[in-house]
Structure 1
Amino acid sequence: METQKILVAGQVQGVGFRWSASQVAQRIGLTGTVRNRRDGQVELIATGSAEQLAELVVQLKRGITPWIVVDRLSITSLPLQKFSDFQIII
């Protein structure tokens, strides 16, 4: 198990990205959080296996919905964090 912080830039606020990303993360079996940042990016903190985290990155890069446009992902490894589920932070 590992934890990653994924910053997503592009057309990702006001288009349902947090909800869509949380659904993908839950389907993959990840736990963590997703929230909007003031700089226009969305931040995901996700915990799971390396394979699960890699699948999340693939899904985010591919595009979750047609109106979400991901221009850039930045991934940082964090110390292991334990979450009970995957939540949207408002």
Structure 2
Amino acid sequence: MTNTLKYGMPFFSYKGKMFCYLWIHKKLKEPYMGIVEGKHFDEVFLIQENRSRTKIMLFDVNEDLPLKQIEIIIRKAIDLYKTGIVKI
């Protein structure tokens, strides 16, 4: 996995494919992690909004990061690429 700045935000890629990114929600003013292939996930804590592929995971600035949930989502997302569901 590598990271770069893309569209002015920290973006992480897996084998050259956009994977996830960190940003601030414009309306809610809260940080979030965007999962590019989020459409493949049905976890209740991921939000689709008006995005076609991406789902986001909002973070409460007053609480610790939900590391277990983050780890689960990252592992599932990597598996999408490893299994060929998302072409590399």
TM over 0.5: no
TM-score with structure 2 setting the length = 0.39
TM-score with structure 1 setting the length = 0.38
Higher helix share: 1
Q: Rg: which structure is higher?
A: 2
Higher strand share: 1
